[in-house]
Amino acid sequence: QVQLVQSGAEVKKPGASMKVSCKASGYPFTSYHMHWVRQAPGQGLEWMGIINPGGGRPTYARKFQGRITLTRDTSTSTMYMELSSLRSDDTAVYYCARDTNFNYPDYWGQGTRVTVSS
Amino acid sequence: DIQMTQSPSSLSASVGDRVTITCRASQNIRIYLNWYQQKPGKAPELLIFAASNLHRGVPSRFSGSGSGTEFTLTISSLQPEDFAVYYCQQSYNTPPFTFGPGTKVVVK
């Protein structure tokens, strides 16, 4: 069965960087793109970007351009989302979510809570 | 970028009620509209894709309709497990694949 297992919660200082991992299993890793979505406390879902694990340049939401980097390691079937220059409003739960090949996700990771606080 | 809006932002309903949520896109997205349900502390779950197609395992009391810029999610007879937040998401053409702001369904 498809599983996306994300790394654990993190606490970061303002100005630092964060890197969340998402280990995929149960399907051909390079056959499905991966979305990254975040949710601030009490807020809605915010689409951040998408990566093709088979190669090619990721696409990022305009809001995160210059601060976000999506990468993948095909040897371990793991996706990574790195966000730099963290601010308090980056405090959120970050999700990876597997694309269906039709630009919407079907399977989601359990979420990684990141708190940015001095 | 395509902007998504939802109405209402919150609604109160009772078990057995028929519930309708509306989602609007800022431009024509044809049928590339999906619906998700999210319960507290959980990841979202896909309910409906391509405007009107039920994802596997989703109860038939959920249905979706619409095309172009206006879409609806209907729950024909609300069940206790349906109290949650519902999001629409557009998947038209190229990124960003934006979500609507959500509609919270609470107990009346």
pLDDT tens digits, one per residue of A41-84 = 999 999 999 999 998 899 999 999 999 999 999 999 999 999 99
B5-34 residue pLDDT tens = 999 999 999 999 999 999 999 999 999 999
- pLDDT confidence bin for B84, thresholds 50/70/90: very high
Residues in chain B within 8 Å Cβ distance of A102: 49-50, 91
Instruction: Confirm or reject contact between B32 and chain A (CB < 8 A).
Output: yes
Q: Can you give the pLDDT at residue A47?
A: 98
B93 pLDDT higher than 90: no
Answer whether B102 touches A (CB < 8 Å). yes
The nearest CA of chain B is from the CA of A52 a distance in Å of: 13
Closest in A44, A95, A103 to B43, CB measured: A95
Question: What pLDDT does A56 receive?
Answer: 83
Q: Encoding tokens for residue A107?
A: 């399977």
Mean pLDDT across chain A, nearest whole number? 97
Q: What DSSP character marks residue A31?
A: G
Identify the burial level of A76 via C-beta atoms within 10 angstroms of its C-beta, where 0-12 means exposed, 13-18 middle and 19 or more buried: exposed
- Cβ partners under 8 Å of residue A97, min gap 6: A4, A34, A35, A36, A37, A105, A106, A107, A108, A109, B43, B44
Average pLDDT over residues A79-103: 97
Q: What is the pLDDT of residues B26-76, one digit of tens each?
A: 999 999 999 999 999 999 999 999 999 999 999 999 999 999 999 999 999
Residue B41 identity: G
Cβ of B102 within 8 Å of Cβ of A61? The answer is no
Place of tokens 């078990």: B15
pLDDT given for residue A108 in this prediction:
98
Question: Do the Cβ atoms of B50 and A102 come within 8 Å?
Answer: yes
Mean pLDDT of chain B: 97
- What CA–CA distance (Å, rounded) separates A71 from B28? 32
Query: Rounded distance, CA A14 to CA B80, Å?
Result: 41
